[in-house]
Amino acid sequence: MKKLMVFFISFLMISFFGCTNDQKQTEKTGLAGKITISGAWALYPMAVKWAEEFQKIHPKVIIDISAGGAGKGMVDALSQAVDLGMVSRDISPAEIEKGAWWVSMVKDAVVPTVNQENPLLDILIKSGVTREQLRDVWITGKITNWSAFTKDDAGLPISIHTRSDACGAAMTWAKYLGAHQEDLLGVGVYGDPGLAEAVINNRMGIGYNNINYVYDARTKQQVKGIQVLPIDLNGNGGIDEEENFYSTLDEVTSAIASGRYPSPPARDLYFVSHGPPKRTVVVEFICWALSQGQSFVSEGGYIQLPEEKLKEQINRLISSDQ
């Protein structure tokens, strides 16, 4: 309880006094300026929501956000083409050497997907698939037919889809399968929306998506036409009660938060810049998103970082601004 109170007081102090040394000047003139952000599709919906809410408080601030994949976000940030890159995978040592500074913002996860009209869907949902079977689809190529999952003689070929762009979802999914993005088999499709659409349009399709492109954040239900393929985590040939958490967005985010869904493919999502951000408007935006902005995380279909980790990110930001 004492820890929670300290954390809450930290939030209040940030809300009232801000993160930067220029806060007094900001109070006199009103926060103003432009922030440019690009990168991961995974973080894009949350960043858009934060921008909308932040601009209600600071109408003189313009925030320009574009998606394009984590690879683009990192390249844009390191080249200083944008203030912040959105990145949905681990930051590499090489990127750190080039000056990458990052802060964790929220959590989400990548999930395997199939078409809701797959003729074997009922069996697939009941039995699930193991990590090893998924690896044999995307990495080794040993599984090319749905009968490998259902043990029947349906003779239905699998249409494998993957991402064509350098992205955190593909890197995270490949890491879960013990490989790299370039090892993933399948027809390459650009972006999270494109990959979801490819599976929706293909009865025999299989793919993977960030959860916010499989579930509707408003209804909390799976998007029409696409279905999460449950993972048989204990390998017993069926989806047990403790593994059955895919029906709604709230259920799957709860499973990610509690660690019942594996990491990877659960992961942190980051804002990245070339060196610690120094412009007042950028620091204040990140600070607000890590404090007051956290009230929009759950409704947006994301998972809030643990309290201690969130506090660490705020302290890291404040320290970098001194």
pLDDT band per the 50, 70, 90 thresholds, residue 6: very low
217: Cα within 13 Å, side-chain hemisphere: 16
**What's the pLDDT at 318?**
87
What percent of the chain is predicted at pLDDT more than 90?
86
Residues 101 and 122 in one domain: no
Distance CA 270, CA 172 (A): 14
Instruction: Write out the H or E segment, with its range, that includes residue 107.
Output: strand 100-115
Q: Is residue 220 part of a domain?
A: yes
Assess whether 248 and 122 both reside in one domain.
yes
Same domain, 51 and 122: no
pLDDT score for 153: 63
Do residues 76 and 166 both lie within one domain? no
Q: What phi and psi, each to the nearest 5 degrees, are found at residue 312? A: -60, -40
Q: Compute the average pLDDT of residues 17-21.
A: 55
pLDDT tens-digit map of 239-270? 999 999 999 999 999 999 999 999 999 999 99
Does residue 35 lie within any of the structural domains? yes
Cα separation, 230 vs 248, in Å, equals 13
**What confidence score (pLDDT) does residue 4 get?**
40
> DSSP for 238-292?
S--GGG---SBHHHHHHHHHHT-S-TTTEEEEEEEEESS--SHHHHHHHHHHHTG
Question: Whole-model pTM?
Answer: 0.90
Asked if residue 23 has pLDDT above 90, the reply is no
Same domain, 157 and 74: no
Q: For residue 10, what are its two tokens?
A: 């930290």
Q: For 304-318, what is each residue's pLDDT tens digit?
A: 999 999 999 999 998
Answer yes or no: is 179 within a domain.
yes
Q: Considering the domain boundaries, does residue 306 fall inside one?
A: yes
263 belongs to a structural domain: no
pLDDT band at 322 (very low <50, low <70, confident <90, very high): low
Residues 118 and 35 in one domain: no
CATH of the domain at 282: 3.40.190.10
Cα 267 to chain centroid distance, Å, stands at 7
For residues 252 and 113, membership in a common domain is answered with: yes
Concatenated DSSP letters for 112-133? EEEETT-TTHHHHHHH-B-HHH
Same domain? 74 vs 49:
yes
Q: What does the pLDDT look like over 39-94, one tens digit per residue?
A: 999 999 999 999 999 999 999 999 999 999 999 999 999 999 999 999 999 999 99
Residue 94 is assigned to a structural domain of this protein: yes
Residue finishing a domain among 213, 231, 258: 258
pLDDT at site 151: 73
Q: Identify the pLDDT of residue 231.
A: 98
Domain stop point among 258, 283, 312: 258
Same structural domain, 116 and 161: yes
Q: Which of 235, 258, 281 is the last residue of a domain?
A: 258
Q: What is the mean pLDDT of the chain?
A: 91
Give pLDDT tens digits for 129-157.
999 999 999 999 999 999 898 876 667 99
275 in a structural domain:
yes
Looking at the structure of the chain, the number of domains it has is 2
| In a shared domain, residues 64 and 127 | no
pLDDT reported for residue 7: 44
Owning domain of residue 127: 109-258
Are 102 and 130 found together in one domain?
Answer: no
How confident is the model over 111-122, as a mean pLDDT?
96
Same domain, 99 and 78: yes
